[in-house]
Structure 1
Amino acid sequence: MKPETGKASGIETAILTDGNMRVSVLNYGAITQGWWYKNEPLILGFDDPNEYLTDARYLGAMVGRVANRISGAKFDLEGASFGLNANEGKNTLHGGDDGLSKQSWELEQIAENEVFLSYVSRDGESGFPGNIRFEVRICLQGPRLAYSITAQPDRPTPISIAQHNYYTLGAAEGVDEHKLKLASNWYLEIDDQGIPSGRVLATKENGLDFSTPNTIGSASEGIDHFFCFDRDRDPKAPVAELTSPSGLALTVYSDQPGAQVYSGYKLTKPRRASRGVCIEPSGYPNAPNISSFPSIIYTPENPYRQELILEVSEE
């Protein structure tokens, strides 16, 4: 099946359908442009694909090579120092200005409900070492949307990918009243630039307890933190559950050690603050610079893999 192509930019679009669900995927940034259940929008997105070319909020994008932040836009590996593109102050965010979310991927629609994307990131892109072939397979089997992500490097290099949907679950008024539950009792302490210090703090002691369902708006200062999933959790159990007052619910399954949760409280025009919430399973942020964090270094013999499954239900 040949994807559709946008007229102005050459951006390709693939539409996945299964039952009462529909998903739109772009080759630019491997972006999930839209996801609908009975025509209710489940995520934020732009109708015009060209708007993603200037989007600074990573709506629906596949972000990396290393998702989240790397302090000082640098890290050391095997005795060598690597300077990265600093695209957020002095730090690197979501792989820098030439990250995966800013690239044109090869896109092949292999079934009505499935699409395959690939991209080869060259050695030195945004300062990162090694050539890497990234592959993403997106499959819609209503009520589930599954992302299978792999990355094959030709030398040791850091890799940590996050899928960056902003979930709304059909709520036009925002997500403050959505209830969130996480398989987590701990989160990473951060400084005023969002950089982890290396300390792991208890959620219950700091107003970020979502071990039982709690409204997103209960976090008075907003949520933009990395939550560490419980290490002894059942690997088949959900890592996150999000419930909307609309009656729609999202269950997230992941094999990653934690997730950045962002309540969208800093969103600005054309979006309203707290219009959508991100739940981004990935490796620990700034891991290349903090030895106590789980390693995100992958090699030709040990390539990167991630499985993310999103399931929607209706109460």
Structure 2
Amino acid sequence: MKSIVNEDLQKILTINRSHYGRTSFNEDVELLQLKKNDGIEVNIITYGGRITSIKTLDKKGDLDNVVLTLANLELYENENPFFGAIVGRYGNRIANGKFKLDGEKYILAQNNGTNSLHGGEKGFDKVIWDVEEVKESSTFVSLKLNYVSKDMEEGFPGNLKTTVTYTLHNNNSLDVLYEATTDKTTVVNLTQHSYFNLSGDFTKAITDHEVKINADRFVPVNNLLIPNGELQSVDNSPFDFRSSIRVSNALDNHNEQIKIARGFDHCWVLNGAAKGYRSVATAYHSLTGRLMEVLTDQPGMQFYTGNFLDGTLPIPTGGVYKKRSGFCFETQHFPDSPNQPQFPSTRLVPGEKYATKTTFKFSVV
């Protein structure tokens, strides 16, 4: 195992690299661990750029993993709901697996009913990412993952050179920086698909978490979970998380939108988009004292309450992942934006650079 250590008077940050496994296609997969000596560890594998563990302290000083994980590479290769993955080229759904760009029609895989979801049959969650560069300083450790998506891969135009940089800071925050360039006009919407459960006990539902989302509006969907084109006020609805609310109290089964999605699986229109990078959401678990804050420069965030976890995937420590075992905060553009011209554009042209940053910051209160 190779280790890079950085030390000042108080902090030690390390990156450890080791062999994780070989895919069914005989590809090597690496495990990279970003670690601070006094309390946070982040494990990432090069298969799908997946976060397989984030260990953080609770108010008793216990260190627990707070993201849903699988026991081995074979389970990650098998069908699973994007645990910990980098999602692309297009995070979320595109209606009917089709969109037009500059008069040209593009056909994508329909891997979610009639929709294209999270990049298609073999999106960025299923490819091997190259580790190009590792950086270190007295205050952070950083690793850079690269992948080149070839022209018309999964139906998307352009050779897309993509870099995702994970950076762990000594203030217990994890940055995810997404960058991409293309040689042909295309659409891009990248995100991170970790499922969080701040209790550290995945046999327990996340309904006891308190969530706050700085958003006055959300994106309502039809029965195929495709936006109906409106941006609806959260006023007087279960979608109003402008003050911190316990998830169980917000899950109003009489609300039509919640009925459609079997819970929350919607994109919130984040306030302050014109300001760029800002704090947009928090999740808090009172029993452990763990608080997670999300900062981003994106216009939207999908809040998903694990509605389709169905008890078929095993928890490595015992039991199975059930409905509401975890939640996702997926910072992104709105679903189906290529077909919804009134939404912020996901268009990327040659000569421009796609660049967006999201931070997950952990603390105990």
Instruction: Give TM class, smaller chain.
Output: over 0.9
The letter for the 1-side match of 2:18 is E
The TM-score with structure 2 as length reference comes to 0.83
The letter for the 2-side match of 1:154 is D
Match of 2:221 in 1: 190
User: Aligned to 1:311, what secondary structure does the other structure show?
Assistant: strand
Match of 1:118 in 2: 146
Displacement of 1:109 in angstroms is 6.0
The letter for the 2-side match of 1:244 is H
Match of 2:104 in 1: 80
Q: Percent identity of the aligned residues?
A: 28
Whole-Å separation in 1 of the counterparts to 2:326 and 2:65: 11
The letter for the 2-side match of 1:4 is S
Check whether the contact 2:277–2:357 (CA below 8 A) recurs between aligned residues: no
- Alignment counterpart, residue 130 of structure 1, candidates 155, 158, 166: 158
Whole-Å separation in 2 of the counterparts to 1:190 and 1:104: 33
CA displacement, residues 261-307 of structure 1 (integer Å, 9 cap, x when unaligned): 10113211221111111000001110000110000001122221110
> Are 1:210 and 2:229 an aligned pair?
no
What pairs up with 1:1-315 in 2 under 5 angstroms?
Answer: 1=2, 3-9=17-23, 10-19=28-37, 20-38=39-57, 39-108=63-132, 110-111=134-135, 113-142=141-170, 143-172=172-201, 173-217=204-248, 218-220=250-252, 221=258, 222-231=263-272, 235=276, 237-245=278-286, 246-269=288-311, 270=313, 271-315=321-365
Mean CA deviation greater in 268-277 or 120-129 = 268-277
Mean CA deviation greater in 132-141 or 42-51 = 42-51
Whole-Å separation in 2 of the counterparts to 1:7 and 1:95: 24
Displacement of 1:77 in angstroms is 0.6
The TM-score with structure 1 as length reference comes to 0.95
CA displacement, residues 13-46 of structure 1 (integer Å, 9 cap, x when unaligned): 1111123111111111111111101421121111
Whole-Å separation in 2 of the counterparts to 1:170 and 1:189: 30
Displacement of 1:235 in angstroms is 4.2
Whole-Å separation in 1 of the counterparts to 2:189 and 2:344: 11
User: Aligned to 2:356, what secondary structure does the other structure show?
Assistant: strand
Whole-Å separation in 2 of the counterparts to 1:91 and 1:310: 29
The letter for the 2-side match of 1:18 is K
Q: How many pairs align?
A: 315
CA displacement, residues 186-206 of structure 1 (integer Å, 9 cap, x when unaligned): 111101111011111111233
User: Aligned to 1:3, what secondary structure does the other structure show?
Assistant: strand
User: Aligned to 1:176, what secondary structure does the other structure show?
Assistant: helix
Check whether the contact 2:265–2:302 (CA below 8 A) recurs between aligned residues: yes
Check whether the contact 2:20–2:45 (CA below 8 A) recurs between aligned residues: no
Structure 1 residue runs without a partner (length 5+):
none
Displacement of 1:241 in angstroms is 0.6
Runs of 4+ in 1 over 4 A off after TM superposition: 232-236
The letter for the 2-side match of 1:314 is V
Displacement of 1:8 in angstroms is 4.3
Structure 2 residue runs without a partner (length 5+):
3-15, 58-62, 253-257, 314-320
CA displacement, residues 221-269 of structure 1 (integer Å, 9 cap, x when unaligned): 4211000011467545410111012210000000000111101132112
User: Aligned to 1:208, what secondary structure does the other structure show?
Assistant: coil
Whole-Å separation in 1 of the counterparts to 2:275 and 2:342: 23
RMSD: 1.7
